[in-house]
Chain A
Amino acid sequence: MAAPLPKRIIKETERLQSEPVPGISAEPHEENARYFDVKVDGPSGSCYEGGEFQLELFLPDDYPMCPPRIRFLTKIYHPNIDRLGRICLDVLKNNWSPALQIRTILLSIQALLGAPNPEDPLNEAVAKQWKENQPEAIKTAREWTTLYAQKK
Chain B
Amino acid sequence: MKFGHEYEKVLASEGFPKQWLVSAIDYKFLKKCIKKIHKELQELGLDAQTIQKLSDPWDKSRNGAAKSAAERHDFYSAQPPHLDAIPEEFTPQLRVLVDRRTYTPLDATLAPETRQNLQKLAQHEVITAEHQAHWQQHARDEAPEQSQDPELHQEPTLSEPIDPKNVTWLQIPLASAKYFFDLLGPKLQELEQLREAETLKLEEEILELGARVEDVVEPVREGFEAKRRVSYRDLYFWREMFRLYLENPVFYSHHEAKPGALTFAEAKTRLQAYDQQLRQTGLLGKMKTPAARIAAKQFLDLNVSILKIIGFQEMNAEAMRKILKKFDKRTHLEGQHFLADLRTKYPALLPPTATTTGAAPATTVNTKPCCTIGFANTIAHDMYSEITSKILGIVPQLDDWSCPVCLEMAWRPVSLGCCRALYCIRCIIRLQDDETKRCPACNAETVLKADARNLNFEAMDFLEKYFPLETKKRQKENETASLAREYGEEFVKPGCAVM
- Which of B255, B256, B405 has a CB less than 8 Å from the CB of A98? B405
| CB closest residue in chain A, given B440 | A99
**Do residues B431 and A65 form an inter-chain contact, with CB atoms below 8 A?**
yes
A21 to B407, CA, bound (A): 19
- Residue among B256, B408, B438 with max Cβ neighbours from chain A (10 Å): B256
What total of A-B pairs shows CB separation below 8 Å? 40
Q: A8-B406, A65-B430, A98-B427 are in contact. Are A20 and B257 (CB under 8 A)?
A: yes
- A-chain residues with CB within 8 Å of residue B440 when the two chains form the complex: 97-100
A19 close to B (CB within 8 Å): yes
- B-chain residues with CB within 8 Å of residue A7 when the two chains form the complex: 406-408
Q: A22-B256, A97-B440, A97-B443 are in contact. Are A6 and B406 (CB under 8 A)?
A: yes
Minimum CB–CB distance for B259 against chain A, Å = 11
A120 close to B (CB within 8 Å): no
Q: A11-B407, A64-B405, A98-B405 are in contact. Are A19 and B255 (CB under 8 A)?
A: yes
Count of interface residues, chain A, beta-carbon cutoff 8 Å: 16
- B-chain residues with CB within 8 Å of residue A20 when the two chains form the complex: 256-257
**Do residues A19 and B256 form an inter-chain contact, with CB atoms below 8 A?**
yes
Minimum CB–CB distance for A24 against chain B, Å = 10
A119 close to B (CB within 8 Å): no
A12 close to B (CB within 8 Å): yes
- A-chain residues with CB within 8 Å of residue B404 when the two chains form the complex: 98-99
A145 to B130, CA, bound (A): 69
Minimum CB–CB distance for B433 against chain A, Å = 9
Q: A8-B408, A64-B405, A65-B431 are in contact. Are A99 and B441 (CB under 8 A)?
A: yes
Minimum CB–CB distance for B429 against chain A, Å = 12
- A-chain residues with CB within 8 Å of residue B431 when the two chains form the complex: 65, 98
Minimum CB–CB distance for B481 against chain A, Å = 12
**Do residues A97 and B441 form an inter-chain contact, with CB atoms below 8 A?**
yes
Minimum CB–CB distance for A108 against chain B, Å = 15
| CB closest residue in chain A, given B438 | A97
Count of interface residues, chain B, beta-carbon cutoff 8 Å: 19
- B-chain residues with CB within 8 Å of residue A99 when the two chains form the complex: 404-405, 421, 440-441
User: Which residues 405-451 in B have Cβ within 8 Å of A in the complex?
Assistant: 405-408, 421, 427, 430-431, 434, 436, 438, 440-441, 443
| CB closest residue in chain A, given B441 | A99
- Residue among B256, B407, B438 with max Cβ neighbours from chain A (10 Å): B407
**Do residues A65 and B434 form an inter-chain contact, with CB atoms below 8 A?**
yes
- Residue among A18, A21, A98, A100 with max Cβ neighbours from chain B (10 Å): A98
Contact digits for A76-110, partner B, Cβ 8 Å, 1 yes 0 no: 00000000000000000000011110000000000
Minimum CB–CB distance for B246 against chain A, Å = 12
Minimum CB–CB distance for A34 against chain B, Å = 16
| CB closest residue in chain A, given B254 | A19
Minimum CB–CB distance for B424 against chain A, Å = 11
User: Which residues 140-190 in B have Cβ within 8 Å of A in the complex?
Assistant: none
- B-chain residues with CB within 8 Å of residue A12 when the two chains form the complex: 407
A19 to B259, CA, bound (A): 12
User: Which residues 1-37 in A have Cβ within 8 Å of B in the complex?
Assistant: 6-8, 11-12, 18-22
Contact digits for B74-117, partner A, Cβ 8 Å, 1 yes 0 no: 00000000000000000000000000000000000000000000
A98 to B438, CA, bound (A): 10
A104 to B92, CA, bound (A): 56
- B-chain residues with CB within 8 Å of residue A100 when the two chains form the complex: 440
- B-chain residues with CB within 8 Å of residue A22 when the two chains form the complex: 256-257
A11 to B402, CA, bound (A): 12
- B-chain residues with CB within 8 Å of residue A8 when the two chains form the complex: 405-408
A residues with CB within 8 A of B: 6-8, 11-12, 18-22, 64-65, 97-100
- List 7 other contacts, CB 8 Å, given A97-B438, A98-B431: A7-B408, A12-B407, A19-B256, A65-B436, A98-B405, A98-B436, A99-B405
* 17 A-B pairs (CB sep. < 8 Å): A7-B408, A8-B405, A8-B406, A20-B257, A21-B256, A22-B257, A64-B405, A64-B406, A65-B434, A65-B436, A97-B440, A97-B441, A97-B443, A98-B427, A98-B440, A99-B404, A99-B405
- Please give me the 6 A-B residue pairs with the lowest Cβ-Cβ distance, nearest first: A99-B440, A99-B404, A97-B440, A98-B405, A8-B407, A98-B440
